[in-house]
């Protein structure tokens, strides 16, 4: 019973901490897993953000390149449109030969797809078809969206027009942005999507002036076809660049939609990005691996140290608990442990009856007085060992005072068995105890027995009645065994209890 109860106490003591080390390693592993997943997630977000940023940069580059191409169209025609000679031959007078020569020069030098001359009366006066210039007069509205371009350019012209002697002129183009005097964008021309630039025909030296009224407009365009796409991509260096007619958006990959002057979609530029195919994962994965390994080493190192500290703490607490519940001299359970186990045994009644054996040494004081306290300690330790061996696993032997012992016995509690057990205890203690090679001492043992639940069903009652039985054994002459149930006279027993409170048995009897 001693080992069983002690194991129960130790188990209760270490249970709150027995899994701390394992928990520390589990938490370390969880931390590593969460961190690794977080790093992978961060890598995914970073990769996605990197791809999005790369696509945004490519779109910005494409818009810039496309804008440059539009500005180039206007720039290519400025020499013709900003000229006194052009005002004279295109506005003041209409010279077909001058028109053909000028349009041929634009087509051959700048590889324009289309050139159109539009009068202030909303008529197309001339337009090119490949390398042929056709002199005609047709309404502007035959080309969808062209009226909007003309109207916008007329408003811009009115803002820039200045009065000069003999008519009107145009403010200088020097130092101002193209968007302040020209219209650039996209149109469907001859059924084909095209980039265009348009500006009014204006004088440069104002030797020839403009008449009052709407301006004459020159429009130049480049069809969006393979030739243009190749030229654009020489600057962009995309994996591929295509144009798709009609409305819609590309679901995957970068694209750039284009609208006509009324805001209607013409088509989309789309390309395959080299940046998208270049993943940053080969860079991120080694970083994640290194960080995870470093974190794992740190976390498991901390967990191992926590495990060490926990083990040390458990050992220390186990030792402290053992010292708190055991007598340091004899190694038996002390009064605190006895009281706890007695309360636990009482709670198990009536299912598990038990007995309380109250034991006290006889003739112990002369041993101390004659041989000294060191010998007395040796006697106590020897008696403790003998009592524990005699009781065995069916009882808990406790030292509750100087030479006072108590036993909680949970084996058979019939009177015959307890009598044999008690006499065995008396006999084992009565054997000589050698305190040196030549000297030995003799002590005796008196025992008082109270049985539960017949003699009491609470701890205080059982202890009191076992003490009364012990007193009876002392009265009978020491080395005796008495049962509380054998005390016949209640009044005498009450008197003995009163005397017991006034003085201990050993004091009363001189032991």
Collapsing DSSP to helix, strand or coil, 240 comes out as strand
β-pairing, 444-452 vs 481-483, is: parallel
Asked if 76 and 220 count as a contact pair (C-beta separation under 8 A), the reply is yes
Residue keyed to tokens 């009644």: 349
Given strand 354-362, what is the order of strands in its sheet?
395-399, 404-409, 354-362, 444-452, 481-483
**Tokens 């002390």 map to which residue?**
334
Region at 354 (left for phi over 0; alpha for psi -120 to 50; beta for the rest)? beta
Residue owning tokens 């004659």: 370
CB 94 within 8 A of CB 118: no
Dmax of the chain from CA atoms?
157
As given in the structure block, the two tokens for residue 344 are 């636990």
Q: Which of 327, 403, 455, 467 is catalytic?
A: 403
Which residues are CB-neighbours of 393 under 8 A, at least 6 positions away? 1, 2, 3, 4
Give dist(CA 141, CA 124) in Å, integer.
10
Provide the token pair at 80: 């013709």
Alpha carbons 132 and 90: distance in angstroms, whole number: 18
Give CA–CA dist 195/204, Å, rounded.
26
The DSSP output letter for 215 is: P
Torsion angle of the four alpha carbons 406, 410, 414, 418, in this order, in degrees rounded to the nearest 10: -40
- Give every CB contact of residue 507 below 8 A, 6+ residues apart in sequence: none
Written as one string, the DSSP assignment of 284-301 is HHHHHHHHHHHHHHHHHH
- Whether 403 is catalytic is yes
**CB under 8 Å to 41, separation ≥6 — which residues?**
none
3-state class (DSSP) for residue 435 = coil
Q: Give 360's strand partners.
A: 404, 446
Q: 177 vs 81, 136, 295, 385, 509, CA distance in Å?
A: 16, 33, 58, 111, 126
- How many Cα atoms occupy the beta-carbon half-sphere of 29 within 13 Å? 5
Please identify every residue annotated as catalytic.
Answer: 403
């Amino acid at each position: 019973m001693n080992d069983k109860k002690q194991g129960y106490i130790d188990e209760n003591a270490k249970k709150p901490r027995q899994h701390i080390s394992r928990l520390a390693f589990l938490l370390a592993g969880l931390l590593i897993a969460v961190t690794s997943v977080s790093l992978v997630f961060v890598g995914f977000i970073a990769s996605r953000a990197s791809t999005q940023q790369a696509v945004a940069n490519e779109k910005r580059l494409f818009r810039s390149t496309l804008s440059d191409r539009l500005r180039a169209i206007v720039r290519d025609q400025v020499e013709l449109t900003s000229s006194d000679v052009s005002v004279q031959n295109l506005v003041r007078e209409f010279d077909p030969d001058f028109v053909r020569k000028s349009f041929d020069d634009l087509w051959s030098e700048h590889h324009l797809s289309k050139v159109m001359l539009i009068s202030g009366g909303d008529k197309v006066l001339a337009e090119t078809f490949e390398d042929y210039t056709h002199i005609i007069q047709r309404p502007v509205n035959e080309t969808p969206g062209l009226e909007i371009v003309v109207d916008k350019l007329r408003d811009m012209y009115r803002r820039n027009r200045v009065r000069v002697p003999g008519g009107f002129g145009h403010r200088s183009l020097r130092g101002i942005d193209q968007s302040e005097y020209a219209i650039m964008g996209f149109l469907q021309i001859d059924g084909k999507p095209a980039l265009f630039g348009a500006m009014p025909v204006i004088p440069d030296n104002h030797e020839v002036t403009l008449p009052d009224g709407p301006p004459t407009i020159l429009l130049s365009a480049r069809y969006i076809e393979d030739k243009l796409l190749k030229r654009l991509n020489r600057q962009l260096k995309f994996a591929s660049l295509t144009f798709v007619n009609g409305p819609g958006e590309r679901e995957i990959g970068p694209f750039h939609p284009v609208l006509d002057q009324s805001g209607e979609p013409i088509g989309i530029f789309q390309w395959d990005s080299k940046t998208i195919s270049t993943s940053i994962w080969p860079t991120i994965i080694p970083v994640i691996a290194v960080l995870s390994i470093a974190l794992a080493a740190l976390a498991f190192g901390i967990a191992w140290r926590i495990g060490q500290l926990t083990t040390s703490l458990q050992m220390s607490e186990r030792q402290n608990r053992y010292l708190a519940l055991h007598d340091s001299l004899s190694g038996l359970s002390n009064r605190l442990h006895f009281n706890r186990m007695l309360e636990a045994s009482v709670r198990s009644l009536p299912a598990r009856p038990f007995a309380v054996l109250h034991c006290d040494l006889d003739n112990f004081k002369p041993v101390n007085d004659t041989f000294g306290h060191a010998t007395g300690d040796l006697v106590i330790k020897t008696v403790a060992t003998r009592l524990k061996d005699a009781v065995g696993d069916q009882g808990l032997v406790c030292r509750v005072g100087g030479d006072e012992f108590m036993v909680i016995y949970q084996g058979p509690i019939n009177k015959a068995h307890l009598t044999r057990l008690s006499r065995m205890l008396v006999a084992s203690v009565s054997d000589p105890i050698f305190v040196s090679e030549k000297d030995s001492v003799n002590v005796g043992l008196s025992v008082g027995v109270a049985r539960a639940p017949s003699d009491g069903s609470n701890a205080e009652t059982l202890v009191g009645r076992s003490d009364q039985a012990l007193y009876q054994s002392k009265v009978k002459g020491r080395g005796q065994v008495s049962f509380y149930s054998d005390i016949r006279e209640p009044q005498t027993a009450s008197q003995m209890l009163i005397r017991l409170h006034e003085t201990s048995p050993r004091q009363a009897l001189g032991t």
